[in-house]
Chains A and B, each alone.
Chain A
C-alpha cells in the first residue's frame, strides 16, 4: 500500500538559541513517509517531536530556532520534489496549508474566535487555489460533510465557541485537508479530547487518509493511539530517534530499553488495581529526561538505563538495522 515517499528527512538537526548557546532540540533525524502511510512520532514532552514537525513547515520560532543541517525533501502535489530547508519564505508559505496540512492539539485555541468556521476553512482554499469566497465556502460545506459534521449548512456560519470539542477538532481537520495536501501533520490531535471522542477522531483521520492517499505524520505521546492509527512508529528521546520500525514489530519486540520502559509504564486494565492491592507503585522509568543543555556523553538514555555498560557513555550510538526495517540506537539491542 505504501507508494512513493512524500517526505524524506535526512540528518535533520534543529537548534535553539538558549541563553546565548545553540542547543540541539533535534539531532541527526532521518525519517521517510510514503503516500498512504502513517508514521507515529512518539516521545515525552521536550523529546523533539513537535520541533520536528515545525521544522518541516518552517514555523520554528523566529530568531530562536533554526535548521542547522539536514535535508527535508517533499514531493509536492504536482509531483515536483523540493528541499524545504532551502526554500525562501514565500515559497514555503505557498506549501503550508496547500501541500502540507496541519492539525494541532487544542481545537478551541487553534481556531480564531472571531471568524466563522466556514471562513476559516475557506481561507486556505482562497489563498492557494485562488477560488472566490462563495466557491470556497461551498467547498467548506463539502469538507464539513467529509469530516462527519451534521447540518453543515448551519455549522459553516457558526463560530468556534458554538461547537463542541470533538466538532471543533473535526473542523480543524477539514481546514487542514482543504487543499487536499500530500502530507498531513497531526500534532497530538486527540490529546485534548475525551476518550470516546478520541476514538472517533482517530477513525476519521484513518478513513480520510485512506481515501485521499495522504502521507501522515502523527505526533503523540500516547502508545495506545500509536497502535490504533500508525503503520510505522519512531520513538524519540532527547532529540533523537532511538527506535523505529513497523508498529507490530516494535510493539511485540522493542529493541531499545527506552521503548521497553515506555511499554511497561502503560498501565493495563486491572493491573493498576492489582498493584494497588499489593501496595506496589505503577511502573515507571527511573530518573528523569536529561536537559538538552547538558546531555550526557554517549547515549542520552544511559543514566536511566538498566542495561547500561561503560561503552554506552563513551560514544553516541548509531541507529542500527535490526532486520525487517526495524532499527535501534542501542549497542546492546540483541540482548533486549
Chain B
C-alpha cells in the first residue's frame, strides 16, 4: 500500500510539473505581447525604452530560460506582482481567495456525493418503480441544466421570492463572524453547485449498482442468509462505489468550472471572480498563479481519489 501511495505521489508531482510547463507555454502562445501589460498606453514610449523594459523584465531571453526563471521564483513563493492592481504580490492575493473557493467547492461536492449516492442506491433498489422513474427524470433535468441558469433561477427562487437565504456574499458585512452566518450564506450556492454533480453521480451509482446486483457474489450473499439490507449495503454498494469514486475524482475539474459561475452569481469572494477579472485584464501573473493552484488542487484530489480507491478495492495494491 505505501509503495502504491509513493508511486501515485510521484506521478502527481510530475503532473504538476507538466502543468507548469503547460500554463507557461499557453500564456506565451496567447495573442498579444506580455509587455503591453506593463505599459501605460497614454505615455508614449520609444522603441529603445521598450527594449530596455523588455530586458529589465527578462522578456528578451529564450522561452525555456524565462520558464526556468519563473519556476524558480514560483517555487520560492514569488509569483510576481499583480499588474492590474498596481504591484500587490500575487501569492497572498490568490491565497486570500482560495479558502472561500475550497469551502464552497467541497461543500457542494460533499452534498453531491451524499445525495447522488443515496438516490442512486434508492433508484437501483427500487428499479422500475415510481421512485426510480421520478429520480431518473430529476437527474436528467439536473444534468442538462447549465450552472449559470440554475444559479440565477435558484437565486431568484430561494433568495428573492422565498427569502430563505441571503442572496450573496460570504458573511453579513459589518456583523461579527459567526458560523451560523457563514452557513446561511453557504447553503444556497453549495446546493446549486451540487445539482449537476449529484445528478451525474446518481446516474453512475444506479447503473453500477444494478450491474453489481446481478453478480454471482450477491447471490452467494443471499444464499448465506445475509439480510437483504446488508446484501445491498455491505456486499453490493461497496463494489458499486468503485467506478463512482473514479467519476468523482475525474469530474472535480468540472466542479471548479461550475464554482466559477456560482461565485460570480453569488458574489462569493473566491478564485472564480479573481480569475475572471485577471483574464479580462490580461493580468498574467495572477492567471498563472491561480491556474497553477487550482490545478494543484485537482491533482491532489485525484491523488486522494486513487488512495481511497485502493483502500476500497483490495485488488489495486497488487497490480
Contact = CB atoms under 8 A, between A and B. Distances in A.
Does B bind A? yes
A96 interface: yes
B220 A104 contact: yes
A128 interface: yes
Contacts of B85: none
B225 A124 contact: yes
Q: Is the interface of B mostly helix, strand, loop or mixed?
A: helix
Contacts of A59: 219, 222-223
A102 B216 CA distance: 12
A114 B314 contact: yes
A159 B319 CA distance: 14
Interface string B184-226: 0000000000000000000000000000000111011111111
Contacts of B225: 93-98, 124, 127-128
B315 A96 contact: no
A95 B224 CA distance: 9
Given A104-B219, A104-B220, A161-B318, A114 B312 contact: yes
A253 B318 CA distance: 54
Interface string A52-64: 0000010100000
Interface in B233-265: 235, 238-239
Contacts of B215: 109
A110 B222 contact: no
A58 to B, nearest CB: 9
Nearest to B223: A102
A124 B224 contact: yes
Contacts of A98: 225
A162 B235 CA distance: 19
Interface in A87-104: 93-98, 102, 104
B216 A96 contact: no
B223 A114 contact: no
Given A96-B222, A97-B223, A159 B314 contact: yes
B224 A127 contact: yes
A95 B227 CA distance: 12
Contact of A110 (B216, B239, B312, B315): B216
Contacts of A104: 216, 219-220, 223
A114 B239 CA distance: 7
A59 B313 CA distance: 28
Nearest to A53: B223
B314 A111 contact: no
A150 interface: no
A112 B224 contact: no
A109 B224 contact: no
Interface in B274-319: 312-315, 318
B143 to A, nearest CB: 29
B233 to A, nearest CB: 13
B226 to A, nearest CB: 6
Q: How large is the interface on B (under 10, 10 to 19, 20 to 34, 35 or more residues)?
A: 20 to 34
A116 B315 CA distance: 11
A106 B216 contact: yes
A187 B225 CA distance: 17
Nearest to B215: A109
Contacts of A243: none
Q: Which of A94, A95, A161 has the most CB of B within 10 A?
A: A161
Interface string A250-286: 0000000000000000000000000000000000000
A124 B224 CA distance: 6
A113 B242 CA distance: 12
A26 interface: no
A110 B224 contact: no
A174 B313 CA distance: 23
Q: Which of B226, B235, B312, B314 has the most CB of A within 10 A?
A: B314
A13 interface: no
Contact of B220 (A111, A159, A161, A162): A111
Nearest to A158: B314
Contact of A109 (B217, B315, B318): B217
A14 interface: no
A172 interface: yes
Nearest to A95: B225
A95 B223 CA distance: 9
Nearest to A125: B224
A113 B315 contact: yes
Nearest to A185: B223
A218 to B, nearest CB: 16
Q: Which of B225, B226, B313 has the most CB of A within 10 A?
A: B225
Given A93-B225, A124-B225, A110 B314 contact: no
Contacts of B238: 114
A226 interface: no
A102 to B, nearest CB: 4
A110 B221 CA distance: 9
B314 to A, nearest CB: 4
A188 interface: no
A93 B226 CA distance: 7
17 contacts: A57-B223, A59-B223, A97-B226, A98-B225, A102-B220, A102-B223, A104-B220, A104-B223, A110-B216, A112-B217, A112-B239, A113-B217, A114-B314, A159-B315, A161-B318, A175-B220, A175-B224
Closest 9 CB pairs of A and B: A97-B225, A97-B224, A109-B216, A96-B225, A102-B223, A112-B217, A159-B314, A124-B224, A110-B216
Given A93-B227, A162-B318, A175-B220, 17 more contacts: A59-B219, A59-B223, A104-B219, A104-B220, A109-B217, A110-B216, A110-B217, A111-B220, A114-B312, A114-B314, A116-B314, A123-B226, A124-B225, A127-B227, A128-B225, A159-B314, A161-B315
